[in-house]
A and B are shown apart, each in its own frame.
Chain A
Amino acid sequence: MSYFIMQILPYITLVVFTFGVLFRLGRWAGSRIVHNITLAPFPQRNSQVLGIFAAEVIFFRSLFSSDRPLWAGAWLMHMALFGAIGGHLVGIYFLGKQFVYLGMSEHLSEQMSALLGTSAGLALLAGLVYLLIRRLTVQKVKEVTGTSDYLQLVLLLAIVVVGNIMRLFEHDLGIAYAPAKDYVAHLLMLKPLPMDHLAITTPFFVLHLLFVQILLMVFPFSKLMHVFGMFANRWIINRVYKDPASGLPNVDIAAARQAGIGVPSGEGGV
């Protein structure tokens, strides 16, 4: 089973995720932006459009204004998620020694990497728990929540909890950067792993990867598509629009006032 999850399923996941997302995006692209539905205030230059996109992606600006309590949890969760994903890529590639390039010693860099990873993992957990509690307790959110919304949150929580267990009990339950990197290298080079490889024999690592792969396969067929949907929607509603010049044709107000247009003859007006 571990062998299937670690050596075969990843390729299936990759295919499902890639073609699933392409299929969805293709469907979006097949429909058109029929009318101009830009939202005010209208940006006047593309740099302003870029600013809107950046503020939404980095700060969740609209959400900040529209629902502050949700913003607090959602922003924390997503920033921690970006951090965790980035940490996985960098930490595994550099084996935790990435901060050497910032002038730290190798040992300090490894400690730094562990500290940042643990913080991101815990922040992510806190964010997800916050969002789950919100779904369970706030009336308006309960009213919009469906079964799949809970399931996806639980799946994310499972990934994060397992990840955190590996991080917090690294020596007993976790896996070091080196075998993880070795595993990724084998996957990328299409080389089978030896059966006694740590990546296959560490139960929590296998579980972590199983949940992640389920999430990636669910991704194209769920609301997780909001990652792309955000850009697709904003591409429609945040665009440059320039008003026609104001000022009416053949109008000379000074002359009109001079001529007393509208003022009844002999009465002098109001």
Chain B
Amino acid sequence: MPKYKDMVQPARASEKEMKKLHIDLTPDDQKCEKALQYLDEMRKKFRSFVTAMESCVKCGACAENCHTYLGTKDPNNIPTNRAELIRKIYKRYFTLEGRWFGKLVGAEDISLDVIEEWYSYFYQCSECRRCARSCPFGIDTCEVTFVGRQILHWLGITPRLHANTGGAMENTGNHMNLPRPGIVDTLEFLADDILDEFGVEVNFPVDKPDSDIIYIPSSADFALNPYTLMGAGLFFTYIGANWTIPSKVTEAGNFGFLFDQRFTQRHNVMRLLDAAQELGAKKIVWGECGHGWRAAKMYVPTMADRPVHWPITHIHDEVAHYIRTNQLKLDPSRNDHPTTLHDPCNYARACDLQENLRTVVKACVSDFREMTPNKDWTFCCGGGSGILFDDPEMYQRRIQLSAKKAELVRATGVGANGNGYLCAPCSICKAQLYPMVEEHNLGVEVKGLIDLVGKALVF
């Protein structure tokens, strides 16, 4: 069982798995020295990290605004205390007060135990930024988690789940390790399903040259959320778009964003730009994936090694645009279940998508009920940043991390009769919530947003 001195830890990637990400494991006797070297590099680079280190007053406002602390009641899961795991080292080695006064100001020598603490707690943080929203100074503790995970990755400490997902991207262009023939097969299969279920002829073009639009689906949609992919197909067919799915990058997510914001993330970005160039795209449209959308919308401009010629929008933005301009005929009675919307943290806090989500969902369902708090104050599903570990110990943790969300869903009353819809338009949210709505007996079915659009479109 992956447990270290009473801390839960996800299973780690092996040496061989890390090699696929071009990382060699750091031997134990060099870890501390290397960690300090990497930390020094980080603090000189990221201002968001430095100001988080140097301006927190430890007021505790973040504590009960963090679903991780609420669910686990572990003091180290209070956002400022999680940051303190690095801050105590930062103080000790990079500040005068820490060098001179040590423990009095909370400075501490680095040790392997500290590094193990990082591994445990930075992988319980969802990087959802509710702490940044609630902090009176706007300290973004997510930036600290980013730095912590990056240092761990360079030391060779990465969860197996993240490492393999990131590695699959380099291998196949998606996180699920789906090869091109598998993608084409699945899409043909989905087209048949659509014809059977909706009576609509949808064609999923793959790698079609001279396409105006390239659509980047979440690879999880091929296996776990087929209705999301079907919904996108129905939408593009309805509007008569000249679109295609590039097999080079069938992945809206970017796990590099979550553990390695250098090579792994940048590599995914470059695949995207290559595909857009090869296929002659005019616009890139993103599929349902929360962290992936943040990585695409906010990080592609600063990650790309060359100018980005293509506007990148989210499929929800586009659907909302056509709803607002009255160009889609939608029949909300086809989704006649009590429905509530879970705002994925990356959409609502990092990408300002919350209003468009509402435009779309309200047009597609007949009984919509808001959850509170919502929008930029949304609580994370508990799986944010891909902490979807399924070894028994970590799975129990996931149930705790989703407790707050479960409470909010229950308060909407949509599941009272057992036929509610919980619209969670993000692949990680879906992967977390599919089992969690069962664990918490919420009486709801988890749906993507484009699923509902596809069903409501009147051809």
Contact = CB atoms under 8 A, between A and B. Distances in A.
Interface string A106-144: 000000000000000000000000000000001011011
B200 A269 contact: yes
Contact of B44 (A30, A62, A146, A244): A30
Contacts of B62: 66
Interface stretch (B152-160, B237-245, B246-254, B426-434): B237-245
Interface residues of B, number: 93
B223 interface: no
Interface in A217-261: 221-223, 225-226, 228-230, 232-234, 236-238, 241, 243-257, 259, 261
A61 B301 CA distance: 31
A68 to B, nearest CB: 10
B157 to A, nearest CB: 23
A256 B243 CA distance: 14
A56 B318 CA distance: 33
Interface of B is mostly: helix
Nearest to A259: B240
Contact of A232 (B51, B80, B135): B51
B302 A34 contact: yes
Output the residue of A226, A236, A243, A262 with the most chain B CB within 10 A.
Answer: A262
A143 B241 CA distance: 56
A143 B59 CA distance: 10
For chain A, the bracket of interface size reads 35 or more
Given A143-B75, A252-B240, A35 B302 contact: yes
B138 A270 contact: no
Contact of B55 (A67, A232, A244, A267): A232
A189 interface: no
Given A40-B351, A65-B377, A270 B200 contact: yes
Nearest to A224: B57
A158 B304 CA distance: 54
Contact of B137 (A42, A233, A254): A233
Contacts of B143: 37
Nearest to A255: B240
Contacts of B144: none
Contacts of B49: 31
A221 B96 contact: yes
Given A42-B352, A233-B138, A250-B242, A66 B61 contact: yes
B299 interface: yes
Contacts of A254: 327
A194 interface: no
B212 A223 contact: no
B64 A67 contact: yes
B198 A270 contact: yes
A47 interface: no
A46 B282 CA distance: 30
A56 B352 contact: no
B145 to A, nearest CB: 13
B105 interface: yes
Smallest CB-CB A-B distances: 7 pairs: A229-B55, A256-B240, A66-B134, A246-B321, A40-B352, A244-B311, A140-B63
Given A233-B137, A252-B240, A269-B200, 20 more contacts: A28-B50, A42-B352, A141-B60, A141-B63, A144-B78, A146-B58, A223-B55, A223-B56, A223-B58, A229-B139, A230-B55, A233-B55, A246-B313, A246-B317, A248-B318, A250-B212, A257-B240, A262-B200, A264-B200, A270-B198
23 contacts: A28-B54, A32-B45, A37-B143, A39-B132, A39-B133, A39-B138, A39-B140, A66-B134, A223-B58, A229-B139, A230-B137, A236-B48, A241-B352, A243-B317, A246-B313, A246-B318, A249-B212, A253-B239, A253-B240, A262-B201, A264-B199, A269-B199, A270-B459
Interface of A: 24, 27-42, 56, 60, 62-63, 65-67, 70, 74, 138, 140-141, 143-149, 151, 221-223, 225-226, 228-230, 232-234, 236-238, 241, 243-257, 259, 261-264, 267, 269-270
